[in-house]
Chains A and B, each alone.
Chain A
Amino acid sequence: MITLDALTKRYGSSTAVDGLSLAVDSGKVTGFLGPNGAGKSTTMRMILGLDEPTSGSATIDGRRYRDLAYPLREVGALLDARALHPQRSARSHLVAMARSNHLPLERVDETLDRVGLTDVARRKAGGFSLGMGQRLGIAGALLGDPAVLMFDEPVNGLDPDGVLWVRNLMRSLADEGRTVFVSSHLMSEMQLTADHLVVIGRGRLIADAPIAEVIAGSSVTSVRVRVPDEHQRDRLRRTLAMTATSIEPDGDDLVATGLSVEQVGDTAHAEGIRLHTLETQHASLEQAYMELTASSVEYVAGSTSVPESGESR
């Protein structure tokens, strides 16, 4: 379990992470979302002891990362797949890594095999494609068979096969009872992979809830009702308009937001209106996310510079 307690990081006058408190539980895939510059990478770097918090703490099962004697046996992390010497072979990189934590060298070959890099293990890591580099980074995270795993944008640069592979890997790691904490920009991917979501914006916690709850909480979640009779449809529309956030006609249908499917059904019944369809339309995670973070997007399109990735430091 990863625990953040009022975790704060300031760089001069700017605050990258602002009093973040949360717990990332084991046995689940927890998605870590937020716009560019929200503080995701800074948070992950503080969990790994790479950056020192200005105040507050980040602990893994109650201990600071820097206090772990053999950290790779407890926490595996892929933060930046490029954080390696490009002239060194993939295997040598993992051997150096294994040596540092007294891991047996068989683990190196097992892990290379698991990520599918056995054939290129002796090639220089600098010549790897983005996807291969990403696999090598994942191999590093898995090397010590840790109970806690963190991945920063793991599907970056992977082909569709690779994306599917990462998705299944995350799921199986969580199903094995491990803590899996994954940041991503790809909402559709998170919707398929994550059980729980942590959303931050401008360094602050915006949401920390099961994914279903985040989606259900979106105002974009709507009720679609089909009324075959035009007069009845108009009447239902006027009645619902009194309580709904919005209501829009769509052919024979009405689409209402801010109302539950029960409320719409009961209203129709009370009015004696004949219905053909009555269903909830869930927002996508993307819509729910956009709504949550709308006020905290640091870089809005149209402004002079839009960093592609990497948080402000």
Chain B
Amino acid sequence: MTTTTLHVPRPHGGALSGAIASEWVKLRTVRSTLWNVLSGIALTGLVATQAAINLDHEGGTASYSEPAVSAIQFSQFVVAALAMLVITSEYSTGSIRSTLQWTPERHTVLAAKAIVVAPATFVVGIVLAATGSLAAIPWLDGTGTSDLGPLVENFLLIGSYVMLVSLFTLGLGTMIRSAAGTLTTIFLLLLVAPMLLVSSENDILRGIGNALPGGAGNAFLTQNTDQWGPSLALVILVAWVCAALLAAAVTLRARDA
């Protein structure tokens, strides 16, 4: 082109690094991200306070971070919503067509979203763990311990758990596309179905409940050994995440935008 060539230098870096940078800009330039984090903090603080009061009542000793673990069972959905909106808001606003126009290789788009969502939600998880622990301290007069071991362990567990749940939600959201459908599905898979099945008298149903993302996730988060050890629970949860992201990659590739 023999034109008024504008100064557009040659690109440095590949399509994936560009897509990641773009996704990061998109995540931090919508108001909903901030609201998600703030409401996650508020909810975690409230539930952790309640959990701390109960825990103190029971006596014994517990890490200050224990109430945060309990609170995450609820506030995980707020973080999951943040991850969900990364994709469902693009479908509801039509901006998915812009995204795919900028980065036409669809697997690159999904990979970039996952690569941005993972560390972002891990950090949010750590922030929520800290919030829950701080909220608990005043209520755990006699029972609380500030031993660094369990504290760090719980922080990392919460961060990883929230991150994995977020990636799972991102995968589901990519397949389902609508926010309402995605939220309903993760509620069922993370909370309702495991809760019902785990309390069953039937071993098989209980096993299914423990193998669902919510059941396995809970076993991992609370390091519970009822059905299988926390390590196996983590493997099951990671398998769910991989399955959701793979299915998302296939549907995103196959579907017209």
Contact = CB atoms under 8 A, between A and B. Distances in A.
Interface of A: 45, 48-52, 65-66, 68-73, 77, 79-80, 82-89, 92-93, 95-97, 99-104, 106-107, 110, 140, 144-145, 147, 176-178
Contacts of A87: 30-32
A237 B18 CA distance: 71
Given A77-B101, A80-B97, A85-B89, A99 B256 contact: no
Contacts of B98: 83-84, 93, 97, 140
B171 to A, nearest CB: 21
B5 interface: yes
Interface string B9-46: 10111110111011111100111100000000000000
Contacts of A89: 29
A95 B102 CA distance: 12
Given A96-B22, A103-B8, A176-B3, A48 B29 contact: no
Contacts of A107: 6, 8
A100 B256 CA distance: 21
Contacts of A101: 11, 18, 102
Contacts of A45: 97, 256-257
Q: What is the predominant secondary structure among interface residues of chain A facing chain B?
A: loop
B202 interface: no
Contacts, number: 122
B184 interface: no
A52 B100 CA distance: 13
Range for the number of chain B residues in contact with chain A: 35 or more
A187 B257 CA distance: 29
B97 A83 contact: yes
B1 interface: yes
B141 interface: no
A83 B95 contact: yes
A48 B8 contact: no
Given A50-B256, A65-B104, A82-B94, A104 B9 contact: yes
28 contacts: A45-B256, A48-B101, A50-B257, A51-B256, A52-B256, A65-B104, A68-B104, A69-B14, A70-B11, A83-B98, A84-B93, A84-B95, A85-B30, A85-B89, A85-B90, A87-B30, A87-B31, A88-B29, A92-B25, A96-B102, A97-B22, A100-B102, A100-B103, A101-B18, A102-B13, A145-B8, A176-B4, A177-B2
Contacts of A52: 256
A83 B92 CA distance: 10
B105 interface: yes
A97 B9 CA distance: 16
Given A51-B257, A99-B25, A107-B6, A86 B93 contact: yes
Contacts of A104: 7-9
Given A48-B101, A66-B104, A176-B1, A80 B11 contact: no
Interface in B86-140: 89-90, 93-105
Contacts of B103: 71, 100
B102 A71 contact: yes
Given A70-B11, A101-B102, A85 B18 contact: no
A145 B97 contact: no
A71 B7 CA distance: 17
Nearest to B109: A100
Interface string B159-198: 0000000000000000000000000000000000000000
Contact of A178 (B1, B15, B22): B1
Contact of A49 (B89, B93, B100): B100
Given A49-B100, A51-B257, A80-B97, A88 B26 contact: yes
Contacts of A72: 101-102
Nearest to A11: B256
A48 B9 CA distance: 23
B9 A100 contact: no
Nearest to A143: B8
Contacts of B32: 87
A100 B19 contact: yes
- Please name the 5 residue pairs, one residue from A and one from B, whose CB atoms are nearest each other, closest first: A100-B22, A102-B11, A92-B29, A99-B21, A176-B3
